[in-house]
Structure 1
Amino acid sequence: MNWLYLGGAITLEVIATSAMKMSDGLTRPGPVVVVVLGYLSAFALLAQALKTMEVGIAYAIWSAAGTAAIAAIGVLIFGETVSLMKLLGLALIVAGVISLHAAGGHA
């Protein structure tokens, strides 16, 4: 169940961050509501996941998955640039999470 909580937390955080981009500096009420509710819900689910997961592993997965998803959304939806360095950076983030998990951070 902890993995479902973590997955939901990541999804809601990515939605909230995307809405922040669409909020035009928090000046558009609709996206601002999504930002606030998304982050509150994401943190509530993350807190549930942390009841049974190691904080280092959970946060590493949370941040890596969120970073990768937001980078992809930036390119695909917001027309942001992609480069070899960005892709390499994302690969290194993922490699870091895998190494933390392999080092004994199993839930």
Structure 2
Amino acid sequence: MERLRHRKGYFYLSIAVISEIFGTSMLKLSDGFTSLLPSIGVIIGFVISFYCLSISLRTVPLSLAYAIWSGLGTAITALIGVLVWGDSFTIVSFGAIVLIIGGVVLLNASSGHGENAAEPSR
């Protein structure tokens, strides 16, 4: 049962990352919040992201959850910027993305795979 709760935490964390990427992409399209639909997309994306991140913290340690959420969000958003918006991509950009993902992987490996997951206080 505990294993299922732990998986559920990572499921919510995945939704949080995807929603954050969506919200950030809509931020680009909102043109400084002057375009209504993308502006609404920003709000919806970030509300869902923060909600799901908060739910994931029931079973995923804060340091790990935040590293995954921010690290993967940053790396994937940078790739979207290159592929969709034509942002510049250099060897330094590539190295930075590799370091971000590597840091998330190392933090995950050092976390004990949820053995120290926070229990909700009551």
TM-score, normalisation: structure 2: 0.84
Shift of 1:80: 0.8
List runs of 5+ in structure 2 lacking aligned partners: 1-7, 115-122
Q: Which residue of the other structure, out of 7, 15, 25, is the alignment partner of 1:8?
A: 15
RMSD, aligned CA: 0.9
User: Structure 1 residues 35 and 105 mapped into 2: Cα distance closer, same or farther (>3 Å)?
Assistant: farther
Shift of 1:105: 4.5
Larger radius of gyration: 2
Q: Residues of 2 paired with 1:104 and 1:11: CA distance?
A: 23
Q: Which runs of 4+ in 1 moved over 2 A?
A: none
Q: Which residue of 1 aligns with 2:118?
A: none
Q: Which residue of the other structure, out of 68, 78, 92, is the alignment partner of 1:61?
A: 68
Shift of 1:104: 2.5
Q: Which residue of the other structure, out of 80, 92, 97, is the alignment partner of 2:87?
A: 80
Counterpart amino acid of residue 24 in structure 1 = D
Shift of 1:94: 1.2
Q: Residues of 2 paired with 1:105 and 1:45: CA distance?
A: 22
Counterpart amino acid of residue 43 in structure 1 = F
TM-score, normalisation: structure 1: 0.95
Aligned sequence identity (%) = 38
List runs of 5+ in structure 1 lacking aligned partners: none
Q: Residues of 2 paired with 1:90 and 1:76: CA distance?
A: 14
Matched, 1:36 2:27: no
Q: How many residues align?
A: 107
Q: Residues of 2 paired with 1:105 and 1:69: CA distance?
A: 25
